Structure 1
Amino acid sequence: MAVTNPAGFWKRLLANLLDAIVIGIPISVIGYLITGSMETNWFTTLANLLYALVVPAVWYGYTVGKRMIGIRIAKVNGGKVGIGTMFLRSFVGGIVYFITFGIGLIISAIMVAAREDKRSIHDFIAGTYVTTEKPTA
């Protein structure tokens, strides 16, 4: 299956910013109330990880921010996005960005801006892309 209607850099960036505001800030406040620390703590780390893995897997590739913008994560082969796919995309992709001291993240941003299919490094790792198409029933 081919990549169809890929979402570009600005839509993806806006969706991530909305996720940070709508989900990230409340998680941080709850984490502070639970742990008493505004620093990164076990609660915010766990909640953000679960959000990144579970929500797209059960909500057809959407996160709250992506849903607000009208984009979603889809598998290149047409399959359903699952927790394993999201683990590869979020966790393994994050490790790659960490190991490369953020250079991989900059390269990914350039890839999304310049490539016709708008796929980044973490999309290639997981076999995904971000699209404006609605999921099929």
Structure 2
Amino acid sequence: MVRNPAGFWKRLAANLLDGIIVGLPIALIGYLVTNSWEENWFTTAANVIYAIVVPALWSGYTVGKRLLGIRIAKVNGGKVGIGTMFLRSVVGGLVYFITFGIALIISAIMVAAREDKRSIHDFIAGTYVTTEKLA
């Protein structure tokens, strides 16, 4: 059951905060490790690990989501885990890549327009983003 869904702007702001607070340092470390901005396997791997592991270990929060008081939750009320976050991040990302970003645009419209604010990667993983704190 979807309760108190977080809207488009809050989700976007949380992603931007994650990019600034976590992504930029990861990119800098990646450059130092690989000596390249373009072919940087380290940055890609670290970002994927962050997107999967941090929410699974931190009750659906990332740094940006925590700062804005939103978190990823399972629709069925269960706890998000590694498998859920893999589906949401990696499989969802592949869908966006395969469709040349068209599915990403559709997802943004879904979050803005749908009452439950769920996007394509939320449907793939059985998740939503909520403003509810843990009990």
TM-score using structure 2 length: 0.98
Structure 2, unmatched stretches of 5+, are: none
Q: In the alignment, residue 22 of structure 1 is paired with which amino acid? A: I
Percent identical across equivalent pairs?
A: 81
Q: Name 1:87's counterpart in structure 2.
A: 86
Matches of 1:96 and 1:40, distance apart in 2: 22
Matches of 1:8 and 1:111, distance apart in 2: 10
Matches of 1:109 and 1:49, distance apart in 2: 21
- Local SS of the residue matching 1:12: helix
- Local SS of the residue matching 1:78: coil
Q: Name 1:107's counterpart in structure 2.
A: 106
Q: Name 2:30's counterpart in structure 1.
A: 31
Structure 1 vs Structure 2 CA RMSD: 0.7
Q: Name 2:132's counterpart in structure 1.
A: 133
Q: Name 2:72's counterpart in structure 1.
A: 73
TM-score using structure 1 length: 0.97
Matches of 1:28 and 1:40, distance apart in 2: 11
Matches of 1:4 and 1:110, distance apart in 2: 20
Change (3 A) 1:40 1:114: farther
Q: In the alignment, residue 85 of structure 2 is paired with which amino acid? A: M
Q: Name 1:42's counterpart in structure 2.
A: 41
CA drift of 1:115 comes to 0.3
Query: How many matched pairs?
Result: 135
CA drift of 1:34 comes to 1.0
- Local SS of the residue matching 1:74: strand
Q: In the alignment, residue 87 of structure 1 is paired with which amino acid? A: F
Q: Name 1:10's counterpart in structure 2.
A: 9
For residues 34-56 of structure 1, give each alpha carbon's deviation from its aligned partner in whole angstroms, at most 9, with x where no partner exists.
11111241110111011000000
Q: In the alignment, residue 25 of structure 2 is paired with which amino acid? A: P
For residues 74-103 of structure 1, give each alpha carbon's deviation from its aligned partner in whole angstroms, at most 9, with x where no partner exists.
000000100000000000001111111100
Instruction: Answer with 37-46 or 71-80: which moved more.
Output: 37-46
Matches of 2:33 and 2:71, distance apart in 1: 32
